[in-house]
């Protein structure tokens, strides 16, 4: 399979970079007139995929909202991933896995082994057991043509306590993660498969080197207060590699398919205008 960085760049060029989250919050299920149950979960996820698959580069299912229903929720997640991929849209599984290396290998098998029912084009991972603990996921992603998004500078205010902590060598933890990713992506064209999560909510990030030759997933637009117009100021020259994520900001317009499509199209247009400068 062509590597994830190449497939993502092609999708971004063709459809624009918007990533829509599939986050079936209980409140959203209620707002859509659905039950907070497995049937509601399935209807919600199906509707989002059918409405938006041709319009977005990436879907980002949030695993937590499926896992809370146990094995039947996981089955819905499997079908959602399969439907999205069959429709030609990339799937970034937001499961934020991270553990000691030997356990990380099992998480990697779940989401990054090609014949797994939850195989996804990319996976979010947490490096806070040490970047090296992610090695089994990096290796399997390379083997499978998949990608990773490593939590570097998250969109929530609490993240700063960890990510902006300064190491003995004077670098912050977040900057260190970005440097690891730049190493993974060295020499890749058109860009590498190993991305960073960097919140769109964070204001000026010019003290960080965001030039990792890989994608930057930017959550925080919409419900968390950031807007597409913020992207150039936050990301500077790296804005070309930004994959902006919107979840509730789009999903709140369902279940009406045309309202979902209009909301996604409006975000996509705002992002296009902001990135074009």
Active site residues: 96
Helix (H, G, I), strand (E, B) or coil at 194: strand
Query: For residues 21 and 127, which CB has a smaller minimum distance to ligand LLZGTKA7 in the complex?
Result: 21
Q: How far is the CB of 194 from ligand LLZGTKA7 (least distance, A)?
A: 16
Strand pairing report for 242-246 and 90-97: unpaired
Task: Identify the CA nearest to 245 among candidates 36, 118, 38, 93.
Answer: 93
- Please answer whether residues 23 and 8 qualify as being in contact, where contact means their C-beta atoms are separated by less than 8 angstroms: no
Q: How far is the CB of 174 from ligand LLZGTKA7 (least distance, A)?
A: 11
Is residue 62 part of the contact set for ligand LLZGTKA7 (CB under 6 A)? yes
Is residue 248 part of the contact set for ligand LLZGTKA7 (CB under 6 A)? yes
- Please answer whether residues 162 and 173 qualify as being in contact, where contact means their C-beta atoms are separated by less than 8 angstroms: yes
State how far the Cα of 60 lies from the Cα of 264, in Å rounded to an integer. Answer: 14
Task: Identify the CA nearest to 63 among candidates 130, 13, 126.
Answer: 126
Query: For residues 104 and 151, which CB has a smaller minimum distance to ligand LLZGTKA7 in the complex?
Result: 151
**Quick one: which of 40, 147, 195, 199 contacts ligand LLZGTKA7 (CB under 6 A)?**
199
Is residue 94 part of the contact set for ligand LLZGTKA7 (CB under 6 A)? yes
In Å, what is the CA distance from 156 to each residue of 16, 101, 159, 200? 25, 26, 6, 10
Show contacts with ligand LLZGTKA7 in window 153-172 (CB under 6 A): 154-156
Contact string 208-237 vs ligand LLZGTKA7 (x = CB under 6 A): -----------xx-xxx-------------
**Sequence-ordered list of residues with C-beta below 8 angstroms from that of 104, at least 6 positions apart, any chain:** 97, 98, 125, 133, 134, 135, 136, 137
Is residue 246 part of the contact set for ligand LLZGTKA7 (CB under 6 A)? yes
Is residue 247 part of the contact set for ligand LLZGTKA7 (CB under 6 A)? yes
Show contacts with ligand LLZGTKA7 in window 112-151 (CB under 6 A): none
Q: How far is the CB of 245 from ligand LLZGTKA7 (least distance, A)?
A: 5
Return the number of other C-beta atoms located less than 10 Å from residue 189's C-beta. 10
Q: Which residues bind ligand LLZGTKA7 (CB under 6 A)?
A: 21, 23, 62, 94, 154-156, 197, 199, 219-220, 222-224, 245-249
């Amino acid at each position: 399979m062509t590597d994830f960085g190449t497939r993502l760049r092609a999708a971004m060029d063709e459809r624009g970079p918007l990533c829509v989250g599939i986050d079936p919050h209980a409140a959203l299920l209620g707002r859509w007139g659905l039950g907070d149950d497995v049937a509601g979960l399935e209807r919600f996820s199906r509707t989002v995929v059918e409405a938006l698959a041709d319009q977005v580069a990436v879907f980002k299912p949030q695993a937590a909202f499926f896992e809370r229903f146990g094995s039947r929720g996981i089955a819905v997640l499997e079908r959602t991933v399969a439907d999205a991929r069959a429709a030609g849209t990339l799937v970034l599984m937001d499961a934020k896995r991270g553990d000691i290396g030997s356990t990380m290998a099992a998480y990697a098998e779940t989401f990054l082994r090609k014949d797994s029912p939850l195989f996804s084009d990319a996976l979010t991972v947490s490096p806070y057991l040490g970047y090296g603990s992610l090695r089994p996921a990096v290796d399997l992603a390379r083997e499978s043509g998949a990608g990773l998004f490593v939590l570097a500078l998250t969109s929530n205010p609490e993240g700063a306590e960890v990510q902006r902590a300064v190491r003995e060598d004077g670098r912050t933890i977040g900057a260190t993660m970005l440097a690891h990713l730049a190493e993974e992506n060295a020499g890749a064209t058109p860009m590498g498969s190993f991305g960073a999560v960097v919140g769109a909510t964070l204001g000026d990030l010019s003290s960080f080197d965001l030039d990792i030759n890989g994608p930057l997933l930017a959550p925080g637009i919409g419900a968390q207060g950031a807007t597409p117009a913020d992207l150039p100021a936050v990301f500077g020259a790296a804005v070309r590699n930004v994959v902006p994520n919107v979840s509730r900001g789009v999903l709140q317009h369902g279940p009406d398919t045309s309202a979902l499509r209009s909301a996604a199209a409006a975000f996509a247009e705002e992002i296009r205008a902001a990135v074009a400068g």
